[in-house]
Amino acid sequence: MTSILLNGVSYRRPDRPVVVVCIDGGDPTYIEHGLLAGIIPNIARFVAEGFGTLAEGTVPSFTCPNNMSLITGAPPAVHGISGNFYLDVATGEAVVMTGPELLRSRTILAEFADAGARVISITAKDKLRRQLGKDLDLTLGNISFSSEFADRCTLADNGIENVLELVGMPQPSMYSMDLSLFVLEAGLRLLERDRPELMFLSLTDYIQHKHAPGDPVADEFYRRIDAVFGRIADLGATLALTADHGMNDKSRPDGSPNVIFLQDILDREFGIGDTRVICPITDAFVRHHGALGGFVRVWCRGGRATPAAIVGLLAGMPGLAEVLDKETACRRFDLPADREGDVVVIGEHDVVIGAGADDHDLSALSDARLRSHGAITEARVPFILNRPLNGHYRLRAAAGLKSHQIFDFAINGTAP
Ligand SMILES: [Zn+2]
């Protein structure tokens, strides 16, 4: 095998290990602050000697859509994953979109594995592991596991066992920086041991949800991930760093969450049951964000609300950046129409949009100001390589980058 082809992009077989890291919630401001504060010397070196810019991520700026964009090299219109939930209009039920069966594309990882390359995928949360590992043949030395379930890996399900011993760390807590550090340390050990051709390491955004740039805990996290990045680079790998989305403070001056409860507004205008607001950030980890993000979908379920009536009602409302009908949203953000709401509502940088006030438990958020994502303002992400780009890819980068080009640039763009 000399190359694989996926979604219109040809990827050559790497001549050295390529490690792509998705710093979950890694807003560019953390890197900017870290460079100014001098706490991320390895990233500083990558930017100086390699390549560093900002790229546009997938909107909605959520975890699963962007991770799928990264490993398919394509937008959601191609891979089908546009959030954690969509509404099945036939049944009226919210459908979980994080299972591998709804992913419509092959992955770069699976394509390389089938072509004979050794591939490793490690993620923090297990919900992502299943999608990242889709079609990945684990009988051939390839590996796919999460740090969430590192203590229960099996050769059959993960291609590896005894992970805690290998990494030399205890099983990390879901709500800790160690959950991400475990992913990186495991990647480092496996890079040394197996020298895979391709590795994807996807972290979790718990620290960024709770700690702003410059906060001592955030600084400590970035200091520590930077140190591992330095060791990965020292092993001779091409290292690419990006994020699935950014993160912004979404609280009022008094510290309470700055929420627009959209379902309540629509119920008052059109009647209860006439519309259905789905918050596609919703997952089991309510301590991160209370299911509150900057992007929601509205389905028209009764007879009164039409897309045009909803757009008319909400356009210009303070706190809302965009109110778009389905066709406009799909065209603008490359989204799959069959999983899109009739109306898309996107908040300003400091606003989250909820369903009804009764639908969100804000008590789990009381330990810190609400920081969240989902809007256009959180779709700008770092795009950093430890090696310089060749001339052709420098030209392409100058035209503007999408974060889903990160594998293309890491694999094809750093060749002589
Ligand atoms: Zn995320």
CA of 263 to the centre of ligand 1 (A): 24
Residues 14-23 have a mean pLDDT of: 97
Residue 279 DSSP SS3 = coil
Q: What is the per-residue pLDDT for 200?
A: 98
User: Residue 138, CB half-sphere, CA atoms under 13 Å: how many?
Assistant: 17
* pLDDT score at 342: 97
What is the residue type of 243? A
Answer yes or no: are the C-beta atoms of 410 and 386 closer than 8 Å.
no
- The CA 63 to ligand 1 mean position distance, Å, reads 4
Residue 33's pLDDT band, with cuts at 50, 70 and 90, is: very high
- Whether 134 contacts 113, CB under 8 Å: no
At 144, is the secondary structure helix, strand, or coil?
strand
The CA 125 to ligand 1 mean position distance, Å, reads: 10
CA 187 to chain centre: 18
> What does the alpha-carbon distance between residue 32 and residue 240 come to, in Å, rounded to a whole number?
17
Q: How confident is the model at residue 290 (pLDDT cuts 50, 70, 90)?
A: confident
**What average pLDDT does the segment 72-92 reach?**
93
Please give the distance, rounded to the nearest whole angstrom, from the Cα atom of residue 305 to the centre of ligand 1. Answer: 32
Q: Which of 125-129, 282-286, 316-320, 409-413 has the lowest mean pLDDT?
A: 282-286
pLDDT at position 364: 73
pLDDT of 286 strictly over 70:
no
Residue 24 alpha carbon to ligand 1 centre in Å: 4
SS3 of 193, please?
helix
Ligand 1 centroid from CA 376, angstroms: 14
340 C-alpha to ligand 1 centroid (Å):
20
Q: In angstroms, rounded to a whole number, what is the distance separating the alpha carbons of residues 377 and 319?
A: 13
Share above pLDDT 90 across residues of the chain, in percent, rounded to a whole number: 87
- 383 Cα to the center of ligand 1, angstroms: 16
| C-alpha 414 – ligand 1 centre gap (Å) | 27
What per-residue confidence (pLDDT) applies to 285? 58
- Quick one: pLDDT band at residue 66, thresholds 50, 70, 90? very high
Per-residue pLDDT of 37-50, as tens digits, reads 999 999 999 999 99
Give tens-digit pLDDT for 221-272.
999 999 999 999 999 999 999 999 999 999 999 999 999 999 999 999 999 9
The pLDDT confidence band at residue 366, using thresholds 50, 70 and 90, is confident
Average pLDDT over residues 165-170: 96
* Residue 102, Ramachandran bin (φ over 0: left; ψ between -120 and 50: alpha; else beta): alpha
Mean pLDDT of all residues in 344-357? 96
Q: How far is the CA of 245 from the centre of ligand 1 (A)?
A: 6
pLDDT for the residue numbered 416: 64
pLDDT digits (tens, 9 = 90+) for 192-210: 999 999 999 999 999 999 9
If DSSP codes are grouped into helix, strand and coil, which group holds residue 400? coil
Q: For 24, which DSSP code?
A: T
pLDDT tens track for 94-126: 888 888 999 999 999 999 999 999 999 999 999
- Does position 72 have pLDDT exceeding 80, yes or no? yes
- Strand order, beta sheet including 119-123: 51-56, 380-385, 238-242, 18-22, 198-202, 119-123, 143-146
Are 295 and 344 in contact by the 8 Å Cβ rule? The answer is yes
Cβ proximity of 199 and 190 under 8 Å: yes
Please give the full DSSP string across 208-242, using - where no structure is assigned. HHH--TTSHHHHHHHHHHHHHHHHHHHTT-EEEEE
Edge-to-edge strand list for the sheet holding 343-347: 275-278, 295-300, 343-347, 320-325
Taking the CA atoms of 37, 228, 124 and 149 in sequence, report the sign of the dihedral they define. negative
How confident is the prediction for the chain on average, in pLDDT? Answer: 95
**DSSP code per residue over 302-339:** SSS--HHHHHHHHTT-TTEEEEEEHHHHHHHHT--GGG
For residue 268, the CA-to-ligand 1 centroid distance in Å is 33
Q: Which pLDDT score, from 0 to 100, does residue 237 have?
A: 98
